[in-house]
Chains A and B, each alone.
Chain A
């Protein structure tokens, strides 16, 4: 046990008066935490320096606005802001970690605590909300974790499998069908005209199938990413594939560093799927691809000028494109979203972290 000062002396120091004004100053000045209040309906009624730093709104900009502006579209659509308030009312407190939006639309990984505030007569006075920006800690954890290694492994395994299938189709099915097509054409020149027409139809359908198989192998194993890096891979993809669809395309990029192969593949595969959707659904005339370094990762946008049709709630056909894009981004530790406004086109936007390469496994199990 250590020697303790006499209790009375200690107590006198501790109870030094802290006026309400001083306390307000303290809260206002804290930079590491966003601390602010909501009224019972969820409108922002106070704001501090930390909230401004983390979320990018000045007090003048945000006071009086509903706190759901901090949530990504998909969370808003799912009713998460309201649900969080209701939970805080029911349980007294709610804690959550997830993506939130800054004023400029970019995302950060937030730790959020919402506390219900009650008046003396038990009426709901509003909510206290404390927000921390955990983006850096999350990125650091993610980069080191076993999860990252698994993710890299998964991406590579899937690519290897796809490459194998693509080469099998290329080396066997396509070559055999090309041979068949050539022989059919040769035959058509040698038989009486009555049969020739039928042979030509056969030959045309064989050529159609060859083209489809060629596109399939291309989709499975797009040439370029592994050899020349992300930007050139995307650029070639735009030229080879999107160019052939007759879409005007533009490509803007600003990358600080080349990502790991796994990150590059993740970005490429999501862009590929998004572009395929533009082709299949958008009726667009132009598509813009933007790739840039942001928040320690890569922010990508695929913007079309098509119909911007709201997502069809088609129950007959299953849609995997959107699910797969989102899963890829989230498994990589990032986020994915799609905005669509009728008449103005669709924007697919996603961010994935761009960590340093993981060191090779040394503690491999036998």
Chain B
């Protein structure tokens, strides 16, 4: 239900950053290009958040956009998370496609009412009369010594909310594709970004046709075990897969890319070949997203599995400040590799072992 919006088609087109295939691009730049193109292409798009304008965004994601599109389309807000997220909801109801940046996901806790009680429910409660094409972007994850209040993952908080979509891009290409798709989607989408991936480089082609927003991607094929991860844990899994390959274990690494919906068919397909799966997540183990992945996969592919779906996850503690303790609180490649060895009944670096089943995975030898 848009009121007769004034069209200023093409006004900004000459100013769009050149988006050409570039061999090396960082995640923040890909997000920036996605926003730039969306603002140029569609007048319904505007950005709100703390320091997204003049300052250019805490992680540079909105750099240059304020100068290009002006304060009404790139709006610096006061520190009022619930209300500026709710502002996005209200505007979305009348035809806008707002992109709300929450400075870090930790502050999204103050905007949960707007996200959970409003954005996720209004289409349903209104009997389909209203749509909420809202994007909420939030950087998060365990970064470097930011301590407990600034270092957490809240995937689990959004996961159990019907009406939301949740994407977790981890590469420049996915960041571009999925943010673009999120803006174009007619549902509220939470885009979770990882603070340690913003300066991660990767190949980038803005004109390559994107896979569906929720599709998982195989990052490394393998036949012995399926490692399922997202965000930074994909890198950890690839590192573990490298080490395991030297021992003759071929791990398949799947980047989920989306947590709601889950690309379960892709996971089942992989497990049909490998018969073993480990979910690796940075979020705390208890009731994290990994628990849902493990449960859904077990239910859908139980008869294909040769052992339980194992989880390697963050420890159930608030994130400590001390660097060594902080590192110990989240999975690393070593922990992933040893979980795989236990699941396969192998000793470290050696052939098949005869040790007893691990208490962590309960795997049968």
State whether these chains interact. no
Residue positions of A touching B, CB distance < 8 A: none
